[in-house]
């Protein structure tokens, strides 16, 4: 046979496979109707294991793994169809709505002039902001009810993830209520009268130093990590030493510092995304990003199966991060953002499927990105 004849046979087989697949899915709908009538769980682990074992034995040895992969995907599609059918008539859950306009107790890490303050004021204009010394103290204040909302950085468009925030989301029982983005204009600042040639050490938050690493390297400057950009600016203002800080233009003005260079980020424009955390789950009706946190079995194909679920449910993955669980096991926890709203029944079915698949699962929130 020539190539065209072989392809014609493949096309004919594809049509047969498609017809059989549709027949199988129609039978799955009947299974779902039966399960609903008899109050049976959708996921039957024993049944799935029997099918996979049978396929493994029936397939030719060289195609065994491929055949099991194919049928594993078909079983996932079957569960997706059944879950959506069974959740179609369930009542839509009711969620508390964020009360940003009425909130009075707002907190962030740092001090006046910090980028976190700007993010907090974007979400809560004309409100007094309480400052905390560390990221964790913001989380603790939210958990203890000392503040209603806390604002923290989570991702920068140049330097990537703020890993400390991700780790604290795993450690503390809080939810995301909103996200907002701040345009970051990093400046090199020092006391009036000093020149760039006199500076050797530059203080800033590690993220600020990372975002401006090209500038520091070009001028042979040594970066020194500090709690945040605003406190670094205050350190420079209070010191007699020939040191500098990386901070915002507003922060420089507040501390009466001179700006030696502006827009020194490696990449321009440079943005930082901030999250707003709260004690209870609150969902804006217009929320468009869902954040979850989960762990998966440590076995071949687990991550592939996880990502495949987004494709099966036609959901757009926005971000995925992995962080060590920090229990000595070398295990990781995945933080995932995807587009969707919790009032969508398809999303409810998807989350139900994830809960069955994952070892540990937590819904972090459903937010509007401002």
Please check whether residue 89 is in contact with residue 103, taking contact to mean a CB–CB distance below 8 angstroms.
no
Q: Where are the alpha helices (DSSP H) in 42-152?
A: 45-58, 64-87, 115-123, 135-143
272 is catalytic: yes
Please check whether residue 370 is in contact with residue 181, taking contact to mean a CB–CB distance below 8 angstroms.
yes
* CA distance readout (Å), 242 to 55, 147, 192, 193, 342: 73, 38, 11, 10, 54
The H or E element spanning position 188 is: strand 187-190
List 274, 338, 350, 357, catalytic entry: 274
21 is catalytic: no
Count of residues in the chain: 370
* CA separation for the pair 171, 293 (Å, rounded): 11
Q: Which residues of 69-89 are buried (b: 16+ CB within 10 A; e: fewer)?
A: eebbebbbbbbbbbbbbbbee
Please check whether residue 201 is in contact with residue 189, taking contact to mean a CB–CB distance below 8 angstroms.
no
List 158, 180, 272, 278, catalytic entry: 272
Residue numbers annotated as active site = 272, 274
């Amino acid at each position: 046979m020539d190539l065209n004849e072989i392809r014609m046979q493949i096309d004919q087989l594809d049509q047969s496979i498609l017809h059989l697949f549709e027949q199988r899915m129609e039978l799955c709908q009947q299974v779902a109707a039966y399960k609903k009538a008899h109050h049976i769980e959708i996921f039957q682990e024993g049944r799935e294991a029997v099918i996979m074992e049978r396929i493994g034995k029936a397939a030719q040895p060289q195609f065994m793994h491929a055949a099991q992969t194919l049928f594993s995907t078909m079983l996932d599609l079957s569960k997706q169809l059944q879950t959506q059918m069974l959740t179609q008539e369930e009542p839509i859950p009711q969620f508390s709505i964020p009360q940003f306009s009425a909130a009075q107790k707002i907190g962030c890490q740092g001090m006046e002039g910090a980028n976190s303050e700007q993010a907090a004021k974007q979400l809560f204009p004309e409100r007094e902001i309480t400052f905390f010394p560390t990221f964790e103290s913001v989380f603790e204040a939210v958990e203890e009810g000392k503040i209603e909302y806390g604002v923290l950085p989570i991702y920068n468009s140049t330097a990537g993830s703020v890993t400390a925030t991700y780790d604290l989301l795993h450690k503390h029982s809080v939810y995301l209520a909103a996200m907002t983005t701040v345009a970051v204009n990093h400046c090199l600042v020092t006391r009036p009268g000093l020149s760039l040639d006199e500076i050797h050490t530059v203080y800033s938050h590690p993220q600020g130093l990372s975002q401006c690493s090209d500038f520091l390297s070009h001028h042979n400057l040594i970066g020194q990590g500090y709690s945040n950009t605003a406190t670094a600016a205050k350190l420079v203002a209070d010191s007699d030493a020939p040191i500098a800080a990386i901070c915002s233009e507003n922060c420089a003005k507040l501390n009466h510092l001179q700006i030696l260079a502006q827009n020194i980020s490696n990449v321009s424009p440079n943005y930082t995304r901030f999250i707003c955390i709260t004690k209870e789950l609150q969902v804006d009706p217009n929320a468009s990003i869902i954040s979850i946190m989960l762990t998966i079995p440590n076995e071949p194909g687990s991550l592939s199966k996880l990502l495949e679920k987004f494709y099966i449910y036609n959901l757009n993955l926005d971000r995925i991060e992995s962080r060590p669980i920090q229990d000595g096991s070398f295990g990781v926890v995945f933080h995932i953002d995807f587009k969707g709203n919790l009032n969508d029944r398809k999303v409810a079915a998807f989350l139900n499927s994830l809960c069955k698949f994952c070892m540990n699962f937590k819904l972090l929130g459903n937010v509007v990105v401002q």
